[in-house]
Structure 1
């Protein structure tokens, strides 16, 4: 076969794959829940909605606070977002940490399909939490829901669909593309306290404020020590992980998000970014500067 003919055949084959309908995503059946605790910090225990027997075999403890982690597009339970945050959370506090693997929905090569699946998964995760609370007596105020990229918006969807008010929700560089006019995007009212950390605004990350409190480290783009958009995007969870174990990130209050992006922030009032404890009642937009390498905090 001539080279030109081979290229045509390959192009047609690729087009056929992209045009083929994807299998229907069923999050109630396909989402996987991995439990980590200080008793099993590196090997997860499975949780299954509707299976109290399986739950009773795990280290889950309703008396502890529960963290729920939601990865982003094309990621899974083994994504750096999870491998960085699980040990950081368990180092900071004795918690139940539930990693949600919704890779069947997030793994679509068609980004807009993954956006649609973000809503479906969020509703399913909320049903899982409602079931867990019903059978264990756990309360939403004891939850901290954390999401990255598409998972950032999904964290809000989960929060607003859990019965009762979730205590703490954090969106880490929530996705920008397809979300400005999306009615399902993250909202300040999704939990008792909502916080957003922006590190790649206008590219992979959302530009405008979304939470009770929005932090724009280094202006929200071009993170020190990074030379790629992917690095900027990931800095959101590296900064957050460090805040769980050592605190230290202090933001100065800004009048607008544009002033935060420019670093022209001179209003009275500082606030710590991230951390284990929700800063319920706080609000506003904040700017801070980080170091190029770990430890990232400048105090």
Structure 2
């Protein structure tokens, strides 16, 4: 039933064991910064760039600008487009409300054909991939992302409500998965639905300008919210958030430096690579629950066990977990 998954093996620039500050409350990034895009490149960004107010107004008032692409076992290669407020686009598609509904939200400068969409997609589930039609958040800065990501996320939530009204698809049978900025996007989608969705999974939620942002992923965005941290952002250079922000937070290999990686981009991408592997094998286990960030860093946690990732919609848990992985798939 589960097809083999293909991976982009990319690459770590931190020394495992670097101390992690206890419960950081704020991360400081320079104005001019490098951020990983879905095109596989590092881009120079201005975190204080002036927003495109016209576009932000359009995004905020018109959630129909999002597009959704459905993949099922019957159409695993060529997608079908679902349109909010167009019941026929759903009723005439292969969407089956009896099966789990999976939303995959990509990161900055990405689209439905860039990772993690092709890899995480499986032929026995339905994946709707949202993105804005005019511009894919090309200015990574606080004003634009602080407004656009939540707006697009709310649009996703409104689409899921429409899906429920048209087909009866239950919120407790939905799993929202987002990578980088997409993690905060799906958090806002779940928030739009009052936290009713079964599960929200954030894959290395984006760090720059988001670590203390009120619109970031929250533990109340779903019935169970999980975050996988692979490029912790407590120092300049980290692309993800390095502290716990969900019901359950996993810190593979300490959450900063990943085996076989030489760059932040590789560390960042490892989150979706690990998640995709667990969807197939469900084999990566947080062996020990941790009570502090220093325990995570020094690998001295002692506590309960919990499987990281997977596609279990009835999953429950709380706390922080450390686990160690290999450098090659399936890790």
TM-score category (smaller protein): 0.7 to 0.9
Q: CA deviation at 1:103?
A: 6.2
| Structure 1 residues 184 and 109: alpha-carbon distance in aligned structure 2, compared to 1, 3 A threshold | closer
Q: Is the 8 A contact 2:204 2:227 kept in 1?
A: yes
Match of 1:101 among 121, 131, 151: 131
* Residues 241-260 of structure 1 mapped to structure 2, 5 A cutoff: 241-251=276-286, 252-260=288-296
1:74 is matched with 109
Once the two structures are overlaid, the 10-residue window that deviates more, 224-233 or 159-168, is 159-168
| Structure 1 residues 19 and 128: alpha-carbon distance in aligned structure 2, compared to 1, 3 A threshold | closer
1:8 is matched with none
Would you say 1:179 and 2:210 are equivalent positions?
A: yes
Q: Is the 8 A contact 2:137 2:145 kept in 1?
A: yes
Measure, in 1, the Cα distance between the counterparts of 2:265 and 2:164. Answer: 36
CA distances 1:207-227 after superposition (whole Å, capped 9, x unpaired) = 110111100000001110111
CA distances 1:90-110 after superposition (whole Å, capped 9, x unpaired) = 3xxx32211112364533234
Pairs aligned (count)? 274
Measure, in 2, the Cα distance between the counterparts of 1:143 and 1:57. Answer: 21
Q: CA deviation at 1:172?
A: 0.3
Where does the alignment leave 5 or more consecutive residues of structure 1 unmatched? 1-17
CA distances 1:115-139 after superposition (whole Å, capped 9, x unpaired) = 4210110111111111111111111
Q: Is the 8 A contact 1:142 1:166 kept in 2?
A: yes
Q: Is the 8 A contact 1:244 1:275 kept in 2?
A: yes
2:306 is matched with 271
CA distances 1:268-297 after superposition (whole Å, capped 9, x unpaired) = 21111011104543111101111111121x
Where in structure 1 do 4 or more consecutive aligned residues deviate above 6 Å? Answer: none
Measure, in 1, the Cα distance between the counterparts of 2:132 and 2:167. Answer: 24
3-state DSSP class of the match of 2:272? Answer: helix
Would you say 1:137 and 2:172 are equivalent positions?
A: no
Measure, in 2, the Cα distance between the counterparts of 1:55 and 1:223. Answer: 41
3-state DSSP class of the match of 2:279? Answer: helix
Q: Is the 8 A contact 1:192 1:280 kept in 2?
A: no
Q: Is the 8 A contact 1:168 1:194 kept in 2?
A: yes
Match of 1:284 among 314, 319, 330: 319
| Structure 1 residues 110 and 271: alpha-carbon distance in aligned structure 2, compared to 1, 3 A threshold | closer
Instruction: Considering Cα pairs closer than 8 Å and 6+ residues apart, tell me whether 1 or 2 has the greater RCO.
Output: 2
1:4 is matched with none
3-state DSSP class of the match of 1:188? Answer: coil
Return the TM-score normalized by structure 2.
0.78
Tell me how large the CA RMSD over aligned residues is.
Answer: 1.9
| Structure 1 residues 283 and 21: alpha-carbon distance in aligned structure 2, compared to 1, 3 A threshold | closer
1:119 is matched with 150
Measure, in 1, the Cα distance between the counterparts of 2:255 and 2:135. Answer: 28
Would you say 1:233 and 2:268 are equivalent positions?
A: yes
Greater C-alpha radius of gyration: 1
More helix by share: 1
1:198 is matched with 229
CA distances 1:7-49 after superposition (whole Å, capped 9, x unpaired) = xxxxxxxxxxx87946514342321100001111111100000
Return the TM-score normalized by structure 1.
0.86
Measure, in 2, the Cα distance between the counterparts of 1:19 and 1:175. Answer: 20
3-state DSSP class of the match of 2:129? Answer: strand
